[in-house]
Amino acid sequence: MIDRITVDKILDAAQIVDVVSDFVTLKRAGANYKGLCPFHDDRTPSFMVSPSKNYCKCFACGKGGSPVGFIMEHEQLQYPDALRWLARKYGITIEERQMTAEEKVSQTERESMFIVNEWANQWFRDQLRNTDEGRNIGMTYFRQRGFRDDTIEKFQLGYSPAKRDACTQAALKAGYQEQYLTAEPDKNGVAHGVGISIKRDNGTLFDRYSGRVMFPIFGLSGKVVGFGGRVLDAATKGVNVKYQNSPESVIYSKRREIYGLFQAKQSIAKKDCVIMVEGYTDVISMSQSGVDNIVSSSGTALTQEQIRLLRRFTQNVVIIYDGDAAGIKASQRGIDMFLREGMNVRLLLLPDGKDPDDFARQNTPESLQQYVAEQPVDFIRFKCDLLMAEAKGDPIKMSNLVNNIVQSIAVIPDEIKRTLYTRETAQTMQLDEHLIADAVAKRVKQNIEEWRKERERDEKRREREAQHASQLPSDTAYPAPLDETWVPPTEHDIPPSQDFTPPQDFTPPLDFTPPLDFMPPQGSMPPQGSASLQGSSSAAASPVKHNRLYDLETLIMQTVVRHGEQVICNVEDEEGKEQPISVLEFVHFSLSQDKLSFCTPLYARMMQEGMQHIHDEGFQAERFFLRHQDTETSSRAFDLSMDKEQLSRFYNQPQTLQEQYNQLMDLVTHLLTDLKLCIVSQRKKDIMKQMRDPNVLADRDRYRSLMQAFQDTKALESHLAKACGDRVLC
């Protein structure tokens, strides 16, 4: 376990801009930074990072957090593991005590798989450098490829021995469990192991990558998520598939990983451009020659998830595929996929059918870098240069070429870009611009219709899933929304006497009709004949729709988050000594005096935890809540701390410290009085509603008791309303 001092050291060292920049390209926006959200398909920057708050949040999907919270969400880690991640980043040594057996069992499955992959990566590297087989076979292969030692180290290349179970036996001997070595899928088809071993029908294990050179695949955080193993050239005769990749698992998906992105992400962000190639060796050779903003789709067909991952770092992409027919076909497919995601696409076709690996080895780093910088062309000129010679003089082929370009233009989401590309196409093809524009407009309309149908299918699928989920048993009981009519049951709900009639001389008040838009919080039924505030609010109730009660609680909690530790008054203790009272304590004592608590469970929990730590040395409310390990708490605290939520119109910035205390005290007092008034007013309406019940009208004693409670509550409401004065805070 990590001690408190080390935790504080990690939290103090971790800077949110520094942490988020490892995964998202940020651009300054005033005092803050903005970027594309890494947690959802974000097309316009909605992810805001605040250096002053040391916090980040997406205002579209709501995800974010402190540096620890961001790592927990992005890397799917628990709180202690996220702290360890940050400690490694900032070079902070963690002295941990020996974990108990129960704590070892509680280690997450994902973390166990990452640990196995890290061990396997180190083992493959050791085999490459420190065994005769590794040096004679694996290292010889890399040398033939022209890879230098620093390049091999940068990409952490390795070698798996030819012995069929060498890696498996070494892993078992090191104490790793069989379930994490294999990749046996569960009933949902998801593997919970990394798959470095394969299980035979007879139960024995053998290596997946035996006799192969190894290319580890890193996630954005630098963790090994999978491997690619290549058969050596001497063994490729008659082999169609040279590479063996890790199987799909809970930590690795081919569709979502990009080879080389971990090594290239800083260069991509700096150059504001990414170069996409096909294979592992293409990335390594080009990077060794100085083209370090280069990545690969891991030897698989390009996917939408990979493009969205790249789009976090840049909007500009250069596609380099092999000059053969398969490479050209792949490049054309990738064009539309990148354009559909709003990226700016250029293409580079290498001469003489060469692949990037060959081209990099046959040219000097200077000439390669110059070629890559000067030769890329936009997708229209690429398609025209590629197909014009073949189509020239053939109207049908020319028509197909134009339609091919029109199809690509039509998927571009930005209308201005579509217009510019339409104009360029018309000029290049020497056609009337209106003709191209009409064709593009027609195709855009077709695309919209196709996307609409696809969206409808997705919505129907989600509805079916939601309907199915609603039929499942649930242990959580949610309260009804605050705008629904609801009468809480009481012990007095008994049938009236058959021979009883209500008194004829008893007239209900003029404003007797109960409201139809209010549901009192659970537990808000007042004691009969009493106007006490006791029991009028409960933390068990959770408002679903914002109403005045929720808004007042939010304003009070906002004051607590911003100024909770500030002293606003002094009170005498039992010994007659004056004790300072902070905003947080004042709110807590004021509510407790009337036996109240917040109706919003999150606010009630925040108040309780704040009171537990208010006397900690150096306690600062905003810092405490923003750093909270519960993401819901830290996220709400961030919202409450932002200037976009104004405390009130009359709370101006004071000039002196005394003025600040006076205004803060004035604000807190009025907010609490307004809250109590709101609760009393709601209770009065609840009593009126009960008095409308036929069973109550038929019970003389009960009716009179409720009437007395109504009069007392109304008097208390008038008293509180007078105390509130004319100020309206929400």
So what's the pLDDT on residue 237?
53
At residue 393, does pLDDT exceed 90? Answer: no
Q: Residue 267 corresponds to which tokens in the numbers above? A: 């260069």
* CB atoms closer than 10 angstroms to residue 610: 24
**What global pTM score does this model have?**
0.61
551-605 pLDDT, tens digit each: 888 899 998 998 888 888 877 767 777 788 888 888 988 888 777 788 888 998 8
**Residue 677 and residue 720 in contact, taking contact as beta carbons nearer than 8 Å:** yes
Mean pLDDT score of the chain? 78
User: For residue 136, what pLDDT band results from cuts at 50, 70 and 90?
Assistant: very high
pLDDT reading at 523 higher than 50: no
pLDDT score of 490: 35
Please answer whether residues 529 and 688 qualify as being in contact, where contact means their C-beta atoms are separated by less than 8 angstroms: no
pLDDT value, residue 281: 92
pLDDT in tens, 622-681: 888 888 878 788 888 888 887 544 444 444 555 566 676 778 888 888 888 888 888 888
pLDDT band at 98 (very low <50, low <70, confident <90, very high): low
Residue at 707: amino acid letter: M
Across 161-182, b (16+ Cβ under 10 Å) vs e yields beeebbbbebbeeeebeeebbb
Per mean pLDDT, which of 115-124, 246-255, 433-442, 588-597 is the most reliable? 115-124
Q: What's the mean pLDDT in 509-522?
A: 32
One-character DSSP codes across 59-73: TTT--EESHHHHHHH
Q: Give the model confidence (pLDDT) of 183-212 as tens digits.
A: 888 777 778 899 999 999 888 999 999 999
d(CA 717, CA 715): 5
447-460, pLDDT tens digit by residue? 888 878 877 887 77
Alpha-carbon distances of 531 from 292, 526, 596, rounded to whole Å:
74, 7, 14
Mean pLDDT across 414-437: 86
Whether the Cβ atoms of residue 671 and residue 721 lie closer than 8 Å to each other: no
Is residue 435 packed enough to be buried (19+ CB in 10 Å), middle (13-18) or exposed (0-12)?
middle
User: What pLDDT shows up at residue 486?
Assistant: 31
Q: Report which listed range, 65-79, 164-178, 449-463, 571-585, is most confident.
A: 164-178
- Distance CA(556)–CA(667), nearest Å, equals 9
Mean pLDDT of 385-402: 75
What pLDDT score does 468 carry? 57
**Within 10 Å of residue 475's Cβ, how many Cβ atoms?**
4
**pLDDT given at position 391:** 67
Query: With the C-alpha atoms ordered 150, 151, 156, 160, is the resulting torsion angle positive or negative?
Result: negative
Structural element, H or E, at residue 89: helix 79-89
Query: Of the candidates 141, 298, 133, 278, which has an alpha carbon nearest to the alpha carbon of residue 210?
Result: 133
